[in-house]
Amino acid sequence: MPKVTLHHTFHVRNTPGALQAHLSQPQSYVGLSPLVVAVRDVSTVDGETRYVSVERLRLLGLVRYESLVKVTLRSTPETVEGEVTAPGGVRLGYRFTLRERDGGTEVEDRLVVQSWNRTLLGRAARRAREAQLARAGVLAARLG
């Protein structure tokens, strides 16, 4: 399956623990990605949190559509990672690596986007990159 790997590293003026706690909560992802408007059906089993993310999209720029995306989330003191299964055969793996640095936290945001179709992969990777870059600003605004 074709894939694209995206990296972005940024700094937030808060502790790794504060970021880990925030990124480990499904509700924190509302607004963290510009498309995510709600989360529901949250459950935790064997150290994994599973939930459904509601993403609001526009089809052809006119019709508003809410896509239901399955998410699995795991965390350690140094990382938060997970997998996303979206409609249309798009898969996304993500990992935030959190390192104490310069009175705050260096966040390495890594995304791997996969799709069976290269055209769909290109669109999904563009949206993922936009969300990835926006996420840095949102986290800095929320947590320092």
Q: Averaged over 19-40, what is the pLDDT?
A: 94
- The tokens describing 42, both together, are 């949250």
- Report the percent of the chain where pLDDT is more than 70: 99
Question: With pLDDT > 90 as the criterion, what percentage of the chain qualifies?
Answer: 80
Pairing of strands 3-12, 79-86: unpaired
Mean pLDDT in residue range 110-120? 94
According to the model, what pLDDT value does residue 132 have?
A: 95
Three-state secondary-structure class, residue 20 = helix
User: pLDDT tens digits for 54-101?
Assistant: 988 777 667 888 889 999 999 999 999 999 998 888 999 999 999 999
Nearest to 123 by CA among 71, 79, 72, 86: 86
pTM for this structure?
Answer: 0.91
8 Å CB contact between 98 and 20: yes
CA pair distance 71, 86, nearest whole angstrom: 9
Contact predicate 105/19, CB 8 Å: yes
